[in-house]
Chain A
Amino acid sequence: MNLTLKKTFLFFIFTMMSTHVGATGEMMKGKRHLPKIVNGWTRSETPRLIDSKNIFEYMNGAGELYLGYRFKHLEVFDYISKDQANILVELYYMETADDAFGLLSLDWGGESVYLADLPLEKSNKFLAAPTRALYGGGLLRLWSDHIYARIMAQHASAASKAAVLTLGRAIAARTKHPPVPELVKNLPYEIDSSWKLRTDRLTFLRSHLVLNSVYYISHENILNLDHSSQAVIAPFERTSGSDGLKRCQFLLVQYKNLDAARDALNQFHDAYLPDYAKGLTATSTNAGPGLFKLEDGWLAYKLLDNFVAMVFDGPDQESARTIIQENESNLLEKGGIHAK
């Protein structure tokens, strides 16, 4: 009896230790080591740890943004100085580098910063600003492997900027630098020399809340976006013609399979176009794009295997059709979809 109890106890202890080591190991994986002192600012001993359970206590509704991506946990450090305002460091550990990229892609504004050890995205012609770090007003945002970081000086100054950049370099040092998400690479940079992709407005996302914060479609999740899907949205701008600037939004969503893509497109049509009959395009990948003249221009959509491609605000039918078709060709060329 005693032996049984002892065995049970030892098994319990072993299990607890394994679980703890596993959890700690998971937390330690890819962990960044920040300097204790930077130009007169001193780091708090241990970070505050935030996960999906307590993220709303830390940042209220802002937590929805990070949960809209594949968020693992957040480490928060305070750097304190005797005579200068604090610097806040937030390290968002994401499940994939794509998710960390997505967070940076929400806003390409600010001064591009080239941190040591951090290669430019030269291989990717789709990003006009070949950057992984952006600074402005005391805030540095950066994407480093599966980490998205925000480093903010409460009061911007030359001294705080130097400290913020030093911290950025420490975060980005000795890490992998994965390329931009594959989905982003599927977008054509130019179409027929007349449409150009606005890479400085390109956003990678997985959530309708994030989509709405970039380009509003509906308060409901009518495209069924979730963590199993990924999407990229960016405007195309017409580079030729004399009738003023023309811009339309292009959205490409990749679902886990064809059924999920078809269901999402059907749901979108029912909610967004209740006054239009559903054509072949909402159910078939073989037909041409669905084209609809709406209040703000032409809308086009097409099911492309497990992708849904959409154009909003097209200035005319032909432009909307062309943008869909060029993206389809690009996907075919890059192996994203297969010819029927």
Chain B
Amino acid sequence: MQNKKPVLTRRDFIRGTIGVTLGASILGFKWPMEEAQAAGSSLVAVVRDKNALDSARNVDSAILEKMLAQTLIKVTGQKNTKDAWLTLVKPNDVIGLVPTSHLNPTHDEVVDVVKRSLRDAGIPKNQIRMAQGRPHHPKKCDALIALPSLKAHWLTGIGTVMKLYIMYSGRPSNYHQSDSAKLGEIWNLPFVKDKTKLVLVDSLYPLCDKGPQADPRYQWSYNGIIAGTDPVAVETVCLKIITEKRNAIRGESWPLTPPPICVEAADKVYGLGTSRMEQIRIEHYGWEKDLLL
């Protein structure tokens, strides 16, 4: 009985002991605080343009290009796009772009505009490749640009950043249900760890309910990009936006269920970044309406 695996329940969330139970559940009874990232401020850029999508939800690529430029400048503090990219990647890096193709897929236009921008920064075309899928994709890359879309998920609560690399595990079904808390461990696989140079979330047309299939009643034109170098901080900001949108739809508190334990675990168990809003600095640019932050 002493060694019985602790069961994570609703009470852990109410008591705020999720981290303790998760740590015990995932790693045994060793509390992994020493592995957690040292507390510090993480910057997340939120760039929006009310004309990024038209009424038929077609993407205006010219506007998107400007939004990307602003995003890169905000995230890196550089004065132009080229310098911004070159603080994130090296000119000789093989760069893998990692969009999502399922349940509210990343817009093709987002991928295209990132590709163009990298090429304009001097990265040769043959060093930029699509890297979503099986583990051999990240193995061939020196740097990864994560390009998820903003969405809730019915098995993991949120299905945006942490879930993006699930195929890299080679065994995605192992991360469903209770084991979704372990999604962060994929980011620490030897062929993934430290390769993610930028997380750029396609937030043009997010999905705020869990699905499991997209329901258009829960999608809306946010017309944004959310980006940063701390994947957990970016996910935390995404979570805030989804939560606020859900509350606005119902006119009352409508928390994600099941709760997105992978986000707190990514912080407290896997040390991938911060999930604490007070440690996140949000830099907003552009359209203010219904920012939800």
Contacts and interface: CB of A to CB of B under 8 A. Distances in A.
B56 to A, nearest CB: 7
Interface in A113-151: 136-139, 150
Residue from B13, B216, B261 whose CB has the most chain A CB atoms within 10 Å: B216
Contact of A109 (B102, B217, B257, B261): B217
Interface string A269-304: 001100000000000000000000011100000000
Contact of B257 (A56, A62, A107, A215): A215
B95 to A, nearest CB: 26
A59 B212 contact: yes
A219 B103 CA distance: 22
Interface string A191-222: 00000000000000000010011111111101
Given A65-B212, A156-B216, A216-B259, A294 B154 contact: no
A138 B257 contact: no
Q: How big is chain B's contact interface, by range? A: 20 to 34
Contacts of A152: 216
Interface stretch (B4-12, B29-37, B69-77, B79-87): B4-12
B78 interface: no
A4 interface: no
Interface residues of A, number: 35
B25 to A, nearest CB: 9
Interface in B55-79: 56-57
B135 interface: no
Interface in A84-116: 107, 109-110
A62 B14 contact: no
Contact of B216 (A64, A65, A137, A271): A137
Nearest to A141: B215
Contacts of B15: 295
A155 interface: yes
Given A213-B154, A216-B259, A219-B178, A150 B213 contact: yes
Nearest to A210: B154
B111 to A, nearest CB: 20
A136 B177 contact: no
A274 to B, nearest CB: 9
Contacts of B219: 137
A241 interface: no
Nearest to A110: B217
Nearest to A217: B10
B210 interface: yes
B158 to A, nearest CB: 13
B155 interface: yes
A24 interface: no
Interface of B: 7-11, 13-15, 56-57, 102-103, 153-155, 173, 176-178, 180-181, 210-213, 215-217, 219, 257-259, 261
